[in-house]
Structure formats: structure tokens, C-alpha cells
Amino acid sequence: MVLAQILLNGILLGGLYGLMALGMALVWGVLNIVNLSHGALIMLGGYVVYYLFTIGGIDPFVALPIAMLVMFAVGFLLQYYLLNLVVRSKMLNTLLITFGLDVVLTYLAQLTFSADFRTINPPYAGANFALFGLTVPSVRLAAFVVAIVLAAALWFLLHRMALGRAIRATAQNLVAARLYGVNPSVLYAVTFGIGTALAGAAGGLYGMIANLTPYIGASLTAKSFVIAIIGGLSNPFYVIFGGIFVGIAESLTALYIGPTYSDVISFGLLVVVLVLRPNRTLRTS
């Protein structure tokens, strides 16, 4: 029964991990940018939901769409006025500028929010229910459901809507997309905005199960990178499955080896994937 509980916890946590990685995988697949500021954007999304809840009195799950709109605007502006300047340059340049952006966002968050630990604590934060002898935390289950819904929405956008087809076409053949009237600068900004909105949703959910500080970005970026490599973006659900896989692996590692080794197993999985599939790429095809 203990093993079953650990597996359940890993699955629920993995859904949130997958949502964290969705935005990074989308941006990487379309813009070919490994966004090292992704975790900082997740952190900012968490703070948006935190203040909507504590100051505005808005339920955190109701606040998620608002946070996504705010973070979409942030992402759109960052891409349109900053990252578009280097989007087609060498990858080292994009790594450097996104790393610099991560540092700036982290220290701005420290100045604005302080370094205190904060948690989004709605009245039902500790609620759970029993299912087949297992304890199911309500907030983690809700976060898992939100992750699945957003992955489905991203799949629908990419495969059934004109905007999604334009995004995929641009990722596959930029010249051909231009011939069909696509404006790459605007499309890149919209794509980065969508990825940032997904990061904002992940941040809001993360703040309900863990502490928010300005310094969580680096670890969340690393986690998202691992899952994006494992899942790719041929289908957004693969990213979610990648997150679930990592969540289960971490939970089992914490049970049988020790909680301090959870991050080690994540990067161990990354090494295994890169060794077995060195030519793996992220594309929206």
C-alpha cells in the first residue's frame, strides 16, 4: 500500500512537472531557443497568483486564467522587443541573453517581493479524500487535472486552429511560412507568450504545493529542461507523460534511496535519454 501511495503521489506531482515543461518545449521547438529564464517566469506566475489570492481575495484556481493573461503579455513583450533581436543568431547568444534575463528577473523579484518564503494557502489546501485505500490530496489532483486540460488545449491549438498551423509551419519551414503571409516576429512573440502563459499557470499551481521564493527559478528551469528532452513536443501529452515519468522516478528514489537523491535521478534520466537517443529534437510536427 505504501508503494501504491508513492506511485500516486509521483503521478500527481509529475502532471505539474509536465505543465512546467510545456512552455519550454513549445518555445524550444518553434523558436529554437533554450529559455534559461523559464523557471523565473514560472516563479513570477506564482507570485501573480499569490497576490491575486492574498490581496484580491480571488481563489487560486480562479486566478490562474488571470495570471496566464498577465504572463502572456509579459512573454509577448519580452520576445517582441528583446528576444526577436537574437532569435536567428547562434544558440550561444540566446543562451546568454536568456540567462541574463533570468538573473534580472530573479533580482527584480527579490527587490519587489523580498526573499521570504510564501505559500498559496486556500482553505482547502490540506483537504484530501480516500480512494481504494489511498489518500488523494485534493489540490494535487486538481493541479494534475489542470495540467491535462492545458495540454489538451495546446494540442488543439497546434493541430486544429489556424494559429497553431502557422506556428507549426514556421517551425518546419520559415521561408515557406513567409511566402504564405506569416509575420515571424509577431508569431514568435505570440508563441513565446503562450509558453510564458503556461509557465504562469504552472507557477500558480506550484505555489499551492511548495514555497515560493525569487530563487526557485534555476531548479525549475533544470527540471523543465530534463522533461522537455524526455518528452519532446511531437505531442504536448508526451511532455505530460515525461513529467509523470520523472515524478514517479523521483518518488521511488525518495522512498528507496532517500529524498536528497531525487534531483540526481532526474538528471540521470536525462543522460540515459541523450545516450540512447542522441539525435532527439524538439519539433511541433
Q: What is the pLDDT of residues 82-91, one digit of tens each?
A: 999 888 788 8
Question: How would you class 131 by CB atoms within 10 Å of its CB: exposed for 0-12, middle for 13-18, buried for 19 or more?
Answer: exposed
Q: What is the pLDDT of residues 34-91, one digit of tens each?
A: 999 999 999 999 999 999 999 999 999 999 999 999 999 999 999 999 999 888 788 8
Mean pLDDT of 237-250: 93
User: What is the reported pLDDT for 275?
Assistant: 77
Question: Quick one: pLDDT at residue 285?
Answer: 42
Residue 49 C-alpha cell reads as: 497568483
Q: Angle 38-54/217-231 helices, nearest 10 degrees?
A: 120
pLDDT in tens, 189-206: 999 999 999 999 999 999
- So what's the pLDDT on residue 68? 98
**Cβ contact 239:251 at 8 Å:** no
For residue 284, the model assigns a pLDDT of 43
For the four alpha carbons of 41, 45, 51 and 54, in that order, the dihedral sign comes to: negative
Q: pLDDT-derived band of residue 278, with 50, 70 and 90 as boundaries?
A: low
Residue 9: is it exposed, middle or buried by C-beta count within 10 angstroms (0-12/13-18/19+)?
buried
Enumerate domains of the chain plus CATH numbers. 2-276 (1.10.3470)
Tell me the DSSP string of 225-261.
Answer: HHHHHHH-SSSHHHHHHHHHHHHHHHHHHHHHT-GGG
For the chain, what is the mean pLDDT? 90
Read off the pLDDT of residues 208-240 as tens digits, 9 standing for 90 and up.
999 999 999 999 999 999 999 888 766 899 999
The confidence score (pLDDT) of residue 268 equals 82
pTM over 0.85: yes
pLDDT of residue 2: 85
**DSSP code, position 84:** G
Most confident listed range (27-31, 117-121, 232-236, 276-280): 117-121
pLDDT band at 281 (very low <50, low <70, confident <90, very high): very low
- Cα–Cα dist 192/13, whole Å: 25
Q: How many Cβ atoms are within 10 Å of 224's Cβ, its own excluded?
A: 28
Number of helices (H), then strands (E), belonging to the chain: the values are 11, 2
C-alpha cell at 268: 540521470
pLDDT above 70: percentage of residues in the chain: 95
Q: Average pLDDT for residues 145-161, to the nearest whole number?
A: 95
pLDDT at position 9 is 93
Q: Give the C-alpha separation, 145 to 130, whole Å.
A: 18
Separation CA 152–CA 28 (nearest Å): 19
Q: Check: CB of residue 59 under 8 Å from CB of residue 53.
A: yes
Closest CA to 201 of 137, 135, 154: 154
Across 161-167, average pLDDT: 89
Q: How do residues 98-110 score in pLDDT, each as one tens digit?
A: 999 999 999 999 9
Alpha carbon distance 30, 282 (integer Å): 8
Identify the pLDDT of residue 283.
45
